Every structure is written in C-alpha cells, then in structure tokens.
Amino acid sequence: MTSAFDPRPADQEFIRFAIDTGVLRFGRFITKAGRESPYFFNAGLFDHGGTLGALADFYAKTFLAAEFDGRLQANGLFGPAYKGITLASATAVALAKAGRDIGFSYNRKEAKDHGEGGIVVGKKLEGRVLIIDDVISAGTSVRESVEIIRAHGATPAGVLIALDRMERGGTAAAPTERSAVQEVQDQYGIPVIAIATLADLLQFLQASDDNDLIQHRDAVAAYRKQWGVG
C-alpha cells in the first residue's frame, strides 16, 4: 500500500523547478529534428544529488497519481541505458520513501559473458514493467526497451518521461503528422505519461508575472502552433 500523497498534477511545480535549476532554458536552440526551438530541456543537467532527488520525487508523484486514477499498473521499473539507469534507480528510491517499494532493472549496452551474464541488471523482468526515461525523441530507446522486456517474458506497462514536447515527429523538412509520443502509444499500445508537457509550459508562462519569462511566451506559443500536435 502507498502512503498518503497529493494526487494533484505536479506539472506546474515541475516547470518551475526545471527553470530554476537551468534544466529548462529559453533562447534559440536547434533540435535534433533541425528545428529552431525557443526552449530547450536537458535532463542531463540534473547532475547533483539534491536536484536528482527532487526530480525522482516528481517521477514518483506522477507514477503514484497514474496508479491512483487507473492509467497505470506496474510492479517493476526499467531504465534504458544510459540516462534511464539513473532515473529508474532514483525513482525506485523515491517510491520506497513514499511507501511504494518496487524493484528496478536496467540494461547494459553490451552483454556480459561472465558472472551473472546477460544484458539486464537488477530485478528480474516479470509482470508489468514501466519504462523510465527523460524524453521521447525518435522512440528508439523505447523500442529497444520493449523488445528487452518482452524477450524476458514480461509486459511493458507504459513509459514515464519528464517532458512531452508535443511536437510532430520527423525533421523540419519532412515532419510527420504525429508526435513521437503518439507513435509509441499507437505502435505498442501502451500509455506514455509525462510529468509535464509543452501545454503545461505554455500555461505556466501565461500565468507568470515574471518579465524574464513573459518575453518568451509568444515565441513558445508560435512554436507550438507551427510544430505542435494534440
């Protein structure tokens, strides 16, 4: 049983946290798709114990809320190498502190041929396993994770990410009609749950009275209008 928790969404609090830590920045950035974006989210900058612990708390809160409202059912976490390893392990710690002790595992990039062998480390993959990652870009990490989980006889329960950019896949020259998140949901029939989305970021900027943030509102809104989905 989980301990008492606040089931309200953590999105606005998370946006504030990401901005304050410099993980979410505004300016002019070129994405992997070749688009000029007015904002950039880099989860790799959660590089201290305090910020990683706070991030894990957001993952744990979002996990518990999704269980609470029936969107998610999982009995294990899986972190795809490499960012997902830290995220899954930290989230497991945060969940344990919240009263939900859950096993976690992760993959190696190359199979180990001695000791315990194999490519999976940690809890045995069984039951319903939730993939933990930072964002979904091309969906490659999710595909590899789904294949590993299924190969071990377990069932992918979904994907939990920090930020859903809610933008069309493909490249700037050849965009697709759906986002990478939508493609994952359609292809594998599993939910993708995000701590926050681009829509949440816009809501945060629209409600802000901070001139340093207000100046970026129109650019973010225009970017969503041009490339957004959902």
CATH assignment of the domain containing 75: 3.40.50.2020
Tell me what pLDDT residue 1 has: 39
Residue with tokens 């930290």: 90
Q: Rounded to whole angstroms, how far apart are CA atoms 40 and 145?
A: 25
> Domain for residue 57, yes or no?
yes
State the catalytic residues.
112, 114
> Domain for residue 140, yes or no?
yes
- In our burial notation (b when 16+ CB lie closer than 10 A, e otherwise), range 131-151 reads bbbbbbeebebbeebbebbee
Structural domains of the chain, count: 1
> Domain for residue 5, yes or no?
no
**Domain around 221:** 11-227
Q: Rounded to whole angstroms, how far apart are CA atoms 196 and 202?
A: 11
Tell me what pLDDT residue 139 has: 79
Count CB neighbours of 157 within 10 A: 22
Q: Rounded to whole angstroms, how far apart are CA atoms 93 and 102?
A: 9
Residue 40 exposed, middle or buried by CB count within 10 Å (0-12, 13-18, 19+): middle
Tell me what pLDDT residue 2 has: 44
- Kindly report the pTM of this predicted structure: 0.91
Residues of the chain with pLDDT under 70: 1-8, 111-117, 230
